[in-house]
């Protein structure tokens, strides 16, 4: 720790002394999704501007268009972004197609060690091929899908009594997926303070990645696996296992019996709207939004509680989050690397968490005060201990779109059975891997 701090301070000093003389002041553009943490990053980056003399521009794209826009930008060799905080699944394509600069030499030269970051985040956000020490990004934002609920409703005696009467159980933070469904069904179309409310807002979006992120939050706790043996691409029996079928049927039941009307194509924004407008008792969303939700004057503070995606057969949360990469088409790679060097410092990481970003740095996460620093901080650590991610293959977009289609067709458009949906998904995925020459 001490050594690292010294090194970091040294780096800061070096940076502040040498930057104006050696490197010309550049105008850097950082690309990310448009959401709460992005605003925090703007705030944080002001220090970098002051220290380095570079100026920062930001291109924030709304989530529904983020992948489309940014992958298009990378694939057309665009120079818009010097730095990109890209989604975890892009790393395979980013590395293999040469969109991202490989950071190993830079890390070695600057004394940045990946051992200083939480292992799950390094694995997911930085490495390609998975788990090998080849780094294409620095973990920037840890994230996972989790839940929040109306604590004020859960604590009301009349509601608690009604729940007890209806189910014979105590109303509490759900300890399993099925208990969560039961609670959601209990709230569905219930009158609270003269207003009809609904169970929960879940992800059902078709266009980008929404419903896949929602469905996997049920699949993982049921024990879903992408392959029988990792790295073998043998999916039959894994993707369509009885547990997977049961989990998918569960998600459909959840959608049909415990969500507000009209939430047929909803993702992050809709989930937030549903909760903030007091329509739902619970909602799923990424940890990234939790600071904002907690600060909300109407439904935040005492009125909100948070919990990790409940287990069923096992623990499991859907991974979100991103690493920060340098785009290989950029003409300002040196300045961009300077930014990463600055960002990796423990003090900056601490400030990052303070401002509402989810640092993946051990010095922040292992700090004894971390779990008490926010009501969802403990949950975050717990979730990050059992996260799983979607395929991160270079062909990830094809794999994702196939899943979006099969799952949305089944869950929302009510076509076929869960078994058929997953069988077809295996067919689609097999085709993709055959095209890739991996099968």
Q: Which residues in 115-154 contact another protein (CB under 8 A)?
A: none
**For the residues of 80-97, what is the DSSP string, one character each?**
S-SEEEEEGGGHHHHHHT
Q: Is 207 an interacting residue with respect to another protein (CB under 8 A)?
A: yes
Rounded distance, CA 209 to CA 219, Å?
Answer: 15
Q: Which of 58/106 has CB closer to another protein?
A: 58
Closer residue to another protein, CB minimum distance, 64 or 320: 64
Read off the tokens for 147. Answer: 């839940």
Give the DSSP H or E segment for 17.
helix 2-22
CA neighbor of 134 nearest in space, from 106, 102, 164: 102
Tally of CB atoms within 10 A around 299: 18
Peptide bond into 286 cis (omega under 30): no
The nearest distance, CB 62 to another protein, in angstroms, is 5
Among 6, 20, 25, 98, binds another protein (CB under 8 A): 98
Alpha helices in 322-417 (DSSP H): 333-343, 346-355, 362-365, 377-384, 396-411
Strands (E), 224-329: 280-286, 304-308, 317-318, 322-326
Does position 155 interact with another protein (CB under 8 A)? The reply is: no
Number of other residues whose CB lies within 10 A of the CB of residue 162: 14
* 393: contact with another protein by CB under 8 A: no
- Which region among 20-28, 60-68, 184-192, 385-393 touches another protein (by CB under 8 A)? 60-68
The answer to whether 341 contacts another protein (rule: CB under 8 A) is: no
Specify the length of the chain in residues. Answer: 439
User: Stretches 71-79, 113-121, 236-244, 372-380: which one binds another protein (CB under 8 A)?
Assistant: 71-79
Measured from the CB atom, the residue of 372 and 414 that comes closer to another protein is: 414
Rg (CA), the chain: 22
Q: Shortest distance, CB of residue 409 to another protein, whole angstroms?
A: 4
Q: Which two tokens stand for residue 283?
A: 């909602």
Site map 75..94 versus another protein, x via CB under 8 A: xxxx-x------------x-
By CB under 8 A, tell whether 71 contacts another protein.
yes
Q: Which of 7, 49, 55, 96 binds another protein (CB under 8 A)?
A: 96
By beta-carbon proximity to another protein, the closer residue of 29 and 177 is 29
Tell me the helix, strand and coil percentages in the chain, rounded to 5.
50, 15, 35
For residue 257, state whether it binds another protein (rule: CB under 8 A): no
190 binds another protein (CB under 8 A): no
The number of residues that bind another protein (CB under 8 A) is 52
DSSP letter at 436?
T
Tell me: does residue 12 bind another protein (CB under 8 A).
no
Span 35-54, contacts to another protein by CB under 8 A? 39, 42-43
**What mask of x and - would describe binding to another protein in positions 295 to 334, judged by CB under 8 A?**
x---------------------------------------
Assigned token pair, 105: 């030499």
Is residue 265 at the binding interface for another protein, with CB under 8 A as the rule? yes
What is the b/e burial string over 326-343, where b = at least 16 CB atoms within 10 angstroms of the residue's CB? bbbbbebbebbbbbbbbb
* 126 vs 324: CA distance, rounded Å: 9
Residues in touch with another protein (CB under 8 A): 34, 39, 42-43, 59, 61-62, 64-65, 68-69, 71-78, 80, 93, 96-98, 206-207, 261-265, 269-270, 272-273, 276-277, 292, 295, 394, 397-398, 401, 405, 408-410, 412-415, 435
């Amino acid at each position: 720790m001490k050594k690292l701090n010294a090194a970091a301070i040294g780096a800061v000093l070096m940076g502040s002394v040498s930057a104006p003389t050696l490197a010309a002041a550049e105008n850097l553009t950082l690309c990310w999704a448009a959401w709460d943490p992005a605003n925090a990053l703007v705030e944080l980056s002001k220090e970098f501007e002051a220290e380095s003399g570079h100026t920062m521009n930001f291109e924030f794209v709304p989530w529904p268009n983020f992948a489309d826009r940014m992958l298009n930008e990378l694939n057309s060799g665009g120079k818009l972004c010097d730095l990109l905080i890209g989604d975890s699944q892009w790393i395979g394509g980013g590395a293999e197609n040469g969109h991202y600069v490989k950071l190993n030499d830079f890390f070695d030269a600057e004394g940045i060690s990946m051992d200083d970051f939480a292992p799950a985040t390094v694995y997911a956000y930085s490495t390609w091929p998975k788990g090998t020490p080849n780094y294409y990004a620095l973990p920037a934002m840890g994230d996972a899908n989790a839940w929040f609920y109306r604590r004020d409703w859960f604590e009301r005696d009349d509601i608690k009594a009604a729940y007890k009467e209806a189910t014979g159980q105590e109303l509490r933070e759900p300890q399993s997926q099925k208990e969560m469904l039961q609670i959601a069904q209990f709230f569905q179309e219930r009158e609270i303070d003269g207003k009809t409310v609904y169970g929960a807002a879940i992800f059902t979006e078709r266009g980008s990645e929404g419903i896949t992120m929602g469905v996997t939050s049920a699949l993982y706790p049921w024990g879903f696996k992408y392959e029988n043996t990792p790295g073998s691409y043998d999916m039959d029996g894994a993707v369509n296992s009885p547990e997977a079928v049961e989990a998918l049927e569960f998600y459909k039941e959840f959608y049909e019996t415990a969500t507000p009307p009209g939430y047929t194509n909803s993702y992050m924004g809709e989930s937030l709207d549903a909760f903030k407008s007091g329509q739902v008792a619970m909602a799923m969303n990424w940890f990234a939004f939790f600071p904002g939700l907690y600060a909300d004057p109407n439904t935040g503070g005492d009125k909100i509680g948070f919990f990790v995606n409940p287990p069923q057969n096992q623990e499991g949360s859907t991974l979100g989050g991103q690493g920060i990469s340098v785009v290989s088409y950029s003409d300002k790679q040196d300045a961009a690397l300077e930014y990463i060097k600055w960002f990796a410092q423990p003090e900056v990481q601490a400030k990052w968490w303070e401002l509402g970003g989810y640092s993946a740095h051990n010095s922040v996460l292992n700090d004894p005060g971390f779990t008490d620093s926010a009501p969802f901080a403990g949950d975050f650590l717990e979730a990050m201990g059992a996260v799983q991610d979607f395929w991160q293959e270079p062909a990830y977009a094809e794999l994702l779109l196939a899943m979006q289609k099969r799952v949305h067709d089944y869950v929302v458009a009510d076509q076929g059975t869960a078994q058929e949906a997953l069988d077809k998904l295996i067919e689609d995925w097999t085709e993709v891997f055959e095209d890739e020459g991996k099968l």
